């Protein structure tokens, strides 16, 4: 029977107002799919702190404002003979600067600001789509 390992991650649905319309930041991940910035918790790091750090690392954004938690998603995958059950907590975030740059060293090949509903359609992963939907439900948000 394969061993199961639990991994914990955190990330963000980053919003920005462009020409009066709310946009969502998508990243193109190492699998060439459109998703949301996220990554592993380090040591005893709090999920909200990890979310801010990972979004900064993957997008180059330095002016992130942290909003409410949007929820947690999980999925199972295999790495060799190990079964990995990954949990990822997402937070609403805002960036006024918006100068996102794909951090190639982090495996991110592109970043893209899209109007919220278009981002909801374009994102590859269903669970990420649900997080974008939850972010849209928080609008209007005073941080934008």
What is the domain extent for residue 42? Answer: 4-137
What CATH number has the domain bearing residue 11? 3.90.79.10
Instruction: Note the pLDDT of residue 1.
Output: 61
pTM of the model: 0.93
The number of domains in the chain is: 1
User: To 5 degrees, how large is the angle CA 54–CA 56–CA 59?
Assistant: 105
Q: How far apart are CA 26 and CA 77, in angstroms?
A: 22
Q: How confident is the model at residue 50 (pLDDT cuts 50, 70, 90)?
A: very high
Residue 143 lies inside a defined structural domain of this protein: no
Residue 52 lies inside a defined structural domain of this protein: yes
């Amino acid at each position: 029977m394969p061993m199961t390992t639990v991994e914990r991650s955190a990330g963000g649905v980053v919003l920005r107002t462009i020409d009066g319309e709310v946009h969502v930041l998508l990243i193109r991940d190492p699998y060439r799919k459109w998703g949301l910035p996220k990554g592993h918790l380090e040591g005893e790091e709090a999920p909200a702190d990890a979310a801010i750090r990972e979004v900064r690392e993957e997008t180059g954004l330095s002016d992130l404002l942290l909003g409410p938690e949007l929820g947690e998603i999980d999925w199972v995958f295999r790495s060799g003979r190990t079964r990995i059950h990954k949990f990822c907590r997402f937070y609403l975030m805002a960036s006024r600067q918006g100068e996102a740059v794909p951090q190639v060293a982090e495996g991110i090949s592109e970043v893209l600001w899209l109007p919220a509903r278009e981002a909801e359609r374009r994102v590859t992963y269903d669970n990420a789509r649900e997080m974008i939907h939850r972010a849209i439900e928080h609008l209007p948000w005073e941080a934008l």
